[in-house]
Chain A
Amino acid sequence: MVANERTGDSSRVRNILRWAVQRRLTITFFLLGMVILLFIFIPLGKMIFSSSPATLWDTLLEGEVRSAIWLSIYTALIATAVGLVLGVPLAYFLARHSFPGKRLVEALIDVPIVVPHIAAGIALLFVFGKGFFVGSAFDAIGIDFVFAVPGIIIAMIFVSVPFLIDSAKQGFEKVDVRLEKVARTLGASPWQTFFRVSLPLARRSIAGGSVMMWARSISEFGAVLVLASHPKIAPILVYDRLEEYGLDYALPVATLLIIICIGIFVVLRTIAYRGERA
């Protein structure tokens, strides 16, 4: 009896061991994955739970905080809208045509992702400042970029539009060209074909890219700091408070920003990927 139990135990142990050996890749990857997940979640969670709800509420009632958050949200939205109007046509063009130097163009589009954003801000300052013809031309029609809302928007566009273009391009590449050809034989003009076939079929990639662009815009700091550190978008307000009053004052604003961003991000992602199968 006792002997039997022991052999039962040892065979169970052997089974578990065999199971572990057979799945050693899965187990290893699971453990490594857990490390990176915790690395992402713990700081965010700690931050959210280190401010009391009362403090957060008080912070939200501050006019300066609210206007900074609101400014961040709507400038990021305008940046994304501009990105859609100008980026989607380019994405479609790149998905449908091949030409010498296409690789180079595609690489250039991604450059804003790799350059330090402070440097990107300085580059924009050179072009959109009044010392250069682009800046002075806009100045002539009354649009200022330096220390102004348009400056925030172009800084956001510059650093985040690659996400939208890349995603939209991949979306258009997945649309079978023959669907567009069939649409033509059914009497649709190139414009109608684009709006009735290509665009609806790429809509998820475009929506996903827009969410990415919006999220990247709202989190932008470096380029905006150089070009338009005033009016203050939320990340700049957090930075200012950290510099002037220290961590205790910066923390609630930062927490609010994270909570609001996560909330909007989740909502937008849900809308963008609605109906998509897992």
Chain B
Amino acid sequence: MIEIKKLTVNLGDFLLDGIDLGVDKGEYFIILGPTGAGKTVLLEAIAGLHPIKMGEIWLDGREVTKLEPEKRGIGFVYQDYALFPHLTVKGNLLFGLKQRKWPKEERGRVMEWLAELLGITPLLERSTDTLSGGERQKVALARALSTSPQVLLLDEPLSALDPQHREGVQQELRQIHRRLKQTIIHVTHDFEEAIALGDRIAVLGAGHILQIGTPEEIFRQPNSEFVARFAMTRNIFTGEVRGGDGGPAIIAVGGTQFEVVSELRGRLHASLRPEDILVSREPLISSARNSLRGTITRIADRGATLYLTVSTPPDFVCLVTRRSFEELGLAEGGEVYVTFKASAVHIF
């Protein structure tokens, strides 16, 4: 669908060097990399908005490397939305549609359909500077979709949003991807975002693609320090979240289930920091809602602290100090309880 071959872009201080990527039709593809890795420029290069030094870009079997941006059929959403401030929401949505030689009613219909799709119909007459971050993002998405792009490029679409809006827009992205079978390339520095949304993830670092794979692969066998360091600091689970019977939400991961705090339901991800888990030899009586029994399968010694892998299953990585480790007399194969608060689990 979209193929990037040996793409080289000069970024001034460094190069994006020999980027090779293939994104399938209808795929949600994430490019994950730290801030300053050149992610935005990579997207601009794909869209034809940034000059490239070398390489080729193919879209649906057609080479577009030298094509002007307006002829590529690529939609773009910038991190801070870049809505046209001199136009209303409606004007923004119609901007791309006006480029087409369609009858006026047809354009209006598409515009209304897009507004409906993103739930921004009540905002159509508003000026863009009266919108909240989440609303702006939806308008920017609708505007980018107005030209029916073959690929939609999203530059950190969630990072400028506060946490409440982030969840909503994330749902919106999922919905767009599923309903429209829209091919999406989304760049982010946020792991949870990458895992939550990506069919596949490419890890970008130091100007190169370091790893491409499914979220599971990237996360379980990271080959970059950037990912590995993150992977060490999070327990990530995939499971089914459902409402408890009148009680708190519950996530079922494999055969185990535990309580979480979230309004989201369905197949989702959960993350839990190793330092938020208490390890004890006996079941704890505390306000923490979750206490699971497991076996220590691995111990990683970090000097003053140790990372224990406790298999309940699933595996929980827990952080303990050396002092606690010694006082509790923990050892590989030993049986322990892992205890954590429902609110320490982040569902995404």
Interface residues of A (CB under 8 A from B): 176, 178-179, 181-189, 192, 196-197, 200-201
A183 to B86 alpha-carbon distance, docked (Å): 13
Chain A residues closer than 8 Å to B143, beta-carbon distance = 182, 186
Q: Are B82 and A186 in contact (CB under 8 A)?
A: no
Question: Which of B71-79, B116-124, B156-164, B250-258 lies at the binding interface?
Answer: B71-79
Q: B146 — which chain A residues lie within 8 A by C-beta?
A: 186
Q: In the bound complex, do residue B76 and residue A182 qualify as a contact, i.e. CB atoms below 8 Å apart?
A: yes
How long is the Cα–Cα vector from A182 to B95 in the complex, in angstroms? Answer: 10
B26 to chain A, nearest CB (A): 20
Contact call B99/A185, Cβ cutoff below 8 A: no
| Contact partner, A178, options B48, B68, B82, Cβ 8 Å | B82
Count, A-B residue pairs, CB within 8 A: 62
Chain A residues with CB under 8 Å of B68's CB are: 184, 189
Rounded to whole Å, the gap between the CB of B141 and the closest CB of chain A is 12
Report the nearest B residue to A181, measured CB to CB.
B49
B96 within 8 A of A: yes
> 26 A-B Cβ contacts within 8 A?
A176-B82, A178-B82, A181-B69, A181-B76, A181-B82, A182-B76, A182-B143, A184-B49, A184-B69, A184-B70, A185-B47, A185-B72, A185-B149, A186-B70, A186-B95, A186-B99, A186-B144, A187-B96, A187-B99, A187-B147, A188-B95, A189-B68, A189-B70, A196-B95, A201-B85, A201-B86
Contact B76 A185 (CB under 8 A): yes
Contact B78 A178 (CB under 8 A): yes
Q: Is the CB of B86 within 8 A of A187?
A: no
In whole Å, how far is A175's beta carbon from the nearest beta carbon of chain B? Answer: 9
Q: With an 8 A cutoff between CB atoms, is B219 at the interface?
A: no
Taking CB atoms, residues of chain A closer than 8 Å to B75 are 185
Q: Which residues of A contact B70 (CB under 8 A)?
A: 184-189
Residues of B within 8 A of A196 (CB): 95
A188 CA to B98 CA in the complex, in Å?
A: 9
Which of A178, A179, A182, A192 counts the most B-chain CB atoms under 10 A from its CB? A182
CB-CB < 8 A to B149: which residues of A? 185
A112 to chain B: closest CB distance in Å?
A: 32
Q: What CA separation (Å) do A187 and B144 show in the bound complex?
A: 10
- When chains A and B are docked, how far (Å) is the Cα of A175 from the Cα of B72? 24
Given contacts A184-B70, A186-B96, A197-B84, 17 further A-B contacts (CB under 8 A): A178-B78, A179-B82, A179-B84, A181-B44, A182-B82, A183-B84, A183-B95, A185-B47, A185-B75, A186-B143, A186-B144, A187-B70, A187-B96, A188-B70, A196-B95, A197-B86, A201-B86
Neighbouring A residues of B47 by C-beta, 8 Å:
181, 185
| B residues less than 8 Å from A186 (CB atoms) | 70, 95-96, 99, 143-144, 146-147
B109 at the interface (CB under 8 A from A): no
Residue of A whose beta carbon sits closest to that of B79: A178
Q: Would you call B179 an interface residue if the criterion is a C-beta within 8 Å of the partner chain's C-beta atoms?
A: no
CA distance A184 to B76 in the complex (A): 10
Encoded as 1 (CB less than 8 Å from any A CB) or 0, chain B from 47 to 65 comes to 1110000000000000000
CB A238 to nearest CB in B, in angstroms, measures: 42
For A185, list chain B residues within 8 Å (CB). Answer: 47, 49, 69-70, 72, 74-76, 144, 147, 149
| B302 in the interface (beta carbon within 8 A) | no
Q: Across the interface, name the chain B residue whose C-beta is closest to A197.
A: B84
CB within 8 Å of A: which of B135-159?
143-144, 146-147, 149
- Chain B residues with Cβ under 8 A from A188's Cβ? 70, 95-96, 99
Q: How far, in angstroms, from A186 to B139 measured CA to CA in the complex?
A: 14
B229 at the A interface (CB under 8 A) = no
Give the residues in chain B near A181, CB-CB below 8 Å: 44, 47, 49, 69, 76, 82
Determine the chain B residues whose CB is within 8 A of the CB of A179 once the complex forms: 82, 84-85
Q: How far is the CB of A272 from chain B (nearest CB, A)?
A: 16
B100 within 8 A of A: yes
Q: Is the CB of B78 within 8 A of A182?
A: yes
Which of chain B's residues have a CB closer than 8 A to the CB of A176?
A: 82
Closest to A187 in B: B99
| Complex contacts, A200 vs chain B, CB 8 Å | 86
**Measured CA separation A104–B79 after assembly (Å):** 36
Q: Which residue from chain A places its CB closest to the CB of B95 in the assembled complex?
A: A186
Q: Which residue of A lies closest to B149 (CB)?
A: A185
By a CB distance below 8 angstroms, the chain A residues around B76 are 181-182, 185
Cα separation A85 to B301 with both chains bound (whole Å): 73
Residue of B78, B146, B149 ringed by the most chain A CB atoms within 10 A: B78
Q: Chain B residues near A187: list those with CB within 8 A.
A: 70, 96, 99-100, 147
CA distance A61 to B141 in the complex (A): 64
A176 closest partner in B (C-beta)? B82
Most buried by B among A176, A185, A200: A185
Which residues of B have CB within 8 Å of A184? 48-49, 68-70
Which residues of chain A come closer than 8 Å to B96, judged between CB atoms?
186-188
| For the complex of A and B, 9 pairs with smallest distance between CB atoms | A186-B96, A187-B99, A184-B69, A185-B76, A178-B82, A181-B49, A187-B70, A200-B86, A182-B82
A103 to B231, CA, bound (A): 50
Residues in chain A near residue B85, CB distance under 8 A: 179, 201
> Whole-angstrom distance from the CB of B164 to the nearest CB of chain A?
26
Complexed CA–CA distance, A200 and B87 (Å): 10
